Amino acid sequence: MTLYAAYGTNLDPARMGERCPHSPLRGTGWLTGWRLTFGGEHHGWDGSLATIVQDPLEQVFVAVYDVTPEDAGLLDGWESADTGLYRRTRVRVATMAGEVVAWAYVLDAYEGGLPSASYLGVLADAAEAADAPVDYVAALRRRACRSTGL
């Protein structure tokens, strides 16, 4: 198994259980030196898609999963990594048990644009389901977003 750090909709353990049924949640932690942002507006449902970029002053809450090779292939499909929209990158996750190395998906598109209100709501709900700190979830809910579709 390999470790996967989810920062978007896959933060939700129930969603990951459906997408990757053989890959249990290992725990949660932080990507220190990264920030959550949005990009690829022309690829998204109603706006930009979630991604992470390096930023020495920020951190991103993540859920860490033990992913089987079979589930990793399924996840690549869900995340459009098999089409090149997202690519895997290795990251260090600070957990209560110590630092672990995992992979995370990074959008292969320019940063910028706003996510839709509905997409941002799904991200915030997923963070809440993963027991993200209340202030982290609240900050997601306060982010600027598109109020309607394109």
Alpha helices by DSSP H, listed for the chain, are 13-19, 69-78, 117-129, 134-142
Question: CB-hemisphere CA count at 13 Å for 58?
Answer: 11
- Angle in degrees, CA 6, 11, 17, rounded to 5: 100
Active site residue 111: no
Check the annotation: does 4 bind a ligand. Answer: no
Neighbours of 23 (CB within 10 A): 22
Neighbours of 142 (CB within 10 A): 10
For 14: left if phi > 0, alpha if psi spans -120 to 50, otherwise beta; the answer is: alpha
Residue of 18, 79, 99, 111 with catalytic role: 79
Catalytic positions are: 79
Annotated binding site: 119
Annotated binding site for substrate: 119
